[in-house]
Structure 1
Amino acid sequence: MTLVSQAEYARRLGITRAAVAQWKSAGRLVLEGSKVNVEASDARLKKYRRAGLPEDNEAAKSVKRGRPSVKQGQESVKQAGRLNAEPVCLTCVEVMRRLAELDWTQTFDWSEAAQDERARLAAQCLGWQAVRSDVRDDGHWGGYQLRISSYVAAHGLTEDAIPAGHGFELDVWAVLKACRAELEPIDDGEEVKVRLDLLHLLAHPFTEYDKRL
């Protein structure tokens, strides 16, 4: 029996942590305390999930996880300035701390073109894509669809590659909300990769009508 955290289980399958949280709420995970029983959960997903079990993300399994040392954390921060547009690995707690400092301090252009660019670049902050479709029908509602770029590259465009917006129904607010939610910590010491040069795009406000509480 293999026990892992919810975040690690998400990494094993190359899906979002939000998706695993939804599976937990739907009773599709087998838990031992706070840990996921990998074999039992895999079997349950294969049996009851319409799309079956997502393919294992072998690349993610080889990445060393866990709480970074203080020295490692300091190095990540130093590298951020040097790498600029390159993704850096930080704890979710640190990312959310930085976002909290950015909240309500940014001045955004609220034009349609500028907000379209904001949505697309905000998704890239996580290594995702925010895609729009020119088609208009019952499955294409004129908004955005979020895609996990690494999953698409490895397995093609499947249901598991789309964390939100299956019907292209997301507006800019929903894109920003979904991207920011993926950065929320769910496990102690959980890490994520982000582009710090784009992080400010996920700061509040999400619309020109948002008010600070």
Structure 2
Amino acid sequence: MTVYLGKQRQLVTEEITSTHGIVLQLIRRVEGLGHKIYMDNYFSSPALFDDLLDRKINSCGTVRNDRRGMPQEIRPKSMKLHLSVVRWKDKRDVYVLMNFHPPPLEGNFRDESGHAVKPHVIEDFNAHTGFVDKSDRMVNSYGIARRTWKWTKKLFFHLLDMSILNAYLLHKSCGGKMTHKKFREILVRDLILQSHEANVTVSDVSRGRPSSSGAQLR
């Protein structure tokens, strides 16, 4: 992960958008390994997907239809030989940019009963990004941070929330049966007990309780 700090520059003099630069920074360790990356419309753009493909990384993500490089007329249509965009009408129009799924054939995408059938690329995107959304929901259910806090304080407690969630997921992976809420309650109780014990020890030392060596000198 990296903290968003505004516009960034590539190692060369060419200026790029901050989100584009953030993605390139995060994928440095997996360049050339043939990974597939899924992202939301905050990051996706044709220029970014081209850059990632040059680094042997395939991409799929929702995209804003007004992003630079997007075709003016959006339909299941090839943009370049390696890049396609699909518009899927759900509760609202959803645009998906991709470079490793074959573009679906044009049509209404309905089964024999007339029910809508999602294109494979939509199902694939939902399957691979659902865990991120679930993680966000779980963190926000018991989040510590408050809107009025300074961003540095909110960042610290967000990282603390993520650490607690990761610990809970490890607990579940080892056969733990506690709920997320119960796990947090026990964690808070244990931290309070440890803090109380530490304060008692510090208090005894500060009062100058005689040491064993001091007793022997007398």
User: Do the two structures share a fold, i.e. TM-score over 0.5?
Assistant: no
**TM-score class normalised by the smaller sequence:** under 0.3
TM-score, scaled relative to structure 1: 0.20
Structure showing greater radius of gyration is 2
Higher relative contact order (CA 8 A, sep 6+): 1
TM-score, scaled relative to structure 2: 0.20
